[in-house]
Amino acid sequence: MLFSHPRWKEAQEAAEQAIRLAPSNPNAYRTASEIYRWLDLYQEAIASLTQAVRLQPGRAKDYRRRASLYFWQGRFRLAADLQQALRLDLQAWSQRLQEAARFWQVKRSSQGN
């Protein structure tokens, strides 16, 4: 853990509470992602950024941050894929993510979840 100060745990709890109170607010997920990153909770940070991307897919900064998290995990191919997608066409990438999100929503609802 990069920072073990008790305040970081408080910040984590506050961010998670913000998500519970406003689950459609991408900024709540971005904040949680940053806190998770500082706590070396990379999987949680990636999951939070992924949710922020689903809620607001056109924000390039989220993709760059997520690529950085993949990099720090040693998941270089995923980091490179995200960076290349941004270089090729940010808007097309956003549309593909929205399509994937819709696909998973349909699949999830068809399974009764």
pLDDT tens sequence across 42-91: 999 999 999 998 999 878 788 888 888 988 888 888 877 676 666 656 66
Q: How far apart are CA 35 and CA 29, in angstroms?
A: 10
On average, the pLDDT of the chain sits at 83
Q: Output the pTM of the full model.
A: 0.67
Other residues' Cβ atoms within 10 Å of the Cβ of residue 83: 16
How much is the pLDDT for 3? 52
Structure tokens at 1: 């853990």
* Contact status, residue 69 vs residue 30, Cβ threshold 8 Å: no
Domain made up of 6-110: CATH architecture: Alpha Horseshoe (1.25)
How much is the pLDDT for 2? 47
In the numeric block, the tokens 């961010």 are attached to 15
Q: List the domain boundaries for the chain.
A: 6-110
How much is the pLDDT for 1? 47
